[in-house]
Amino acid sequence: MDPLRIGIVQFLNTVPLVEGLDKVAELKMIPAPPSQLSDMLESDAADVALVSVIDAATSRKPLALLSCGMIGCDGPTLTVRVFSSQPFDQITVLHADTDSHTSIALARVILARMYGRKVEVVPFDAAHAEAGNWPPALLLIGDKVITRHPPASHYPYQLDLGEAWKKLTGLPFVYALWMCRESDLESPYRGDRIRLASALIDRQRRHNTTRLARIIQDKAPEFGWPAEAAHRYLGDLLRYEVGETERSSVRRFLSECAELGLVQADRAAPVWAE
């Protein structure tokens, strides 16, 4: 049997999900930027991928959500943050790090619902920003929030989007989930392969939970994180297990996106692989 192709992201926050999967004989890891993973499923370049949640409602081919793991939070996220030189209710243009489609949509939802602002989003390459070239309002995502953050003196207003979502809805937030092509579930052969992949991914996630402290110790330096911050981030702030509350949050988020016109209303109901 050919190995199952698994699209992954190589950030610190994915380590509890993907660490050790490369040693599972039935699986083949394919690293890619977050914004490319849904395209990999659409083009059949991967069988399962860790996809940004909003892509389930925007992909050209219907995707199904798997319950074997996620990247989420139940309050502060730490690495999904709006930096602003002006109060949030005065923002008109948001320069956005384009690594995560979901984080951009979440920023637009939070700014609209909590601050009454429907902002224009402008792509911004934060990884190559130069001193003095920081925009008035910026959405920054991922490890660079910790390792290459902009000067605090330039941004007196900062908003953690996971914390804001919790305040707005009372729900945790889900940024990314394992997904597959919905059509694969209709094929006995492909459906069995997806179920196998899901079971193996879930088993590895559970195993990693039992050795998280060691994983953090080994991996934090690789991603440029201070050990103490990495332990708080992965051990306290992030969530990786999908439950009913997380499913409710996905439904609420996609519904909010549909109301703002960010996704089509008929694509806002997520499809879960059972």
Phi, psi at 139, each rounded to 5°: -95, 120
Low-confidence residues of the chain, pLDDT below 50? none
Query: Does residue 54 sit in the same domain as residue 184?
Result: yes
My answer on whether 163 and 209 are in the same domain is no
Judgement on whether residues 56 and 84 belong to the same structural domain of the protein: no
pLDDT at 97: 80
Amino acid identity, residue 259?
E
Domain boundary among 153, 169, 185: 169
Q: What is the DSSP string of 147-206?
A: HSPPPGGG-SEEEEHHHHHHHHHSS-EEEEEEEEEGGGGGSHHHHHHHHHHHHHHHHHHH
Question: In 10 A of CB 199, how many CB atoms?
Answer: 12
Q: What is the pLDDT of residue 149?
A: 74
Same domain, 179 and 262: yes
Predicted pLDDT at 131: 58
Distance from first CA to last CA of the chain, Å, rounded? Answer: 24
Residue 2 per-residue DSSP state: P
Give the model's pLDDT for residue 1. Answer: 67
Looking at the fold, whether 64 and 84 belong to one and the same domain comes out as: no
Identify whether residues 46 and 95 lie together within a single domain: no
Q: How far is 13 from 32, CA to CA, in rounded Å?
A: 14
- Quote the number of domains for the chain: 2
- Report if residue 58 sits inside a domain: yes
Q: Answer yes or no: is 191 within a domain.
A: yes
The pLDDT value given to residue 146: 81
The number of beta carbons lying within 10 Å of the beta carbon of residue 94 is: 22
The answer to whether residues 127 and 183 belong to one domain is no
Domain of 200, in residue numbers: 4-72+173-267
Say if 98 falls within a structural domain.
yes
Asked whether residue 189 falls in the same domain as residue 262, the answer is: yes
Domain contains 273:
no
Q: Which residues contact 68 (CB under 8 A, 6 or more apart)?
A: 178, 198, 199, 201, 202, 205, 242
Residue after which a domain boundary falls, among 169, 186, 208: 169
| 272 domain residue, yes or no | no
Burial class of residue 196, CB neighbours in 10 A (0-12, 13-18, 19+): middle
Q: Are residues 206 and 261 in the same domain?
A: yes
CATH number, domain of 156, equals: 3.40.190.10
pLDDT of residue 127: 65
Verify that 16 and 140 share a domain, yes or no: no
Shared domain for 9 and 93, answered yes or no, is no
> Final residue of a domain: which of 169, 201, 232?
169
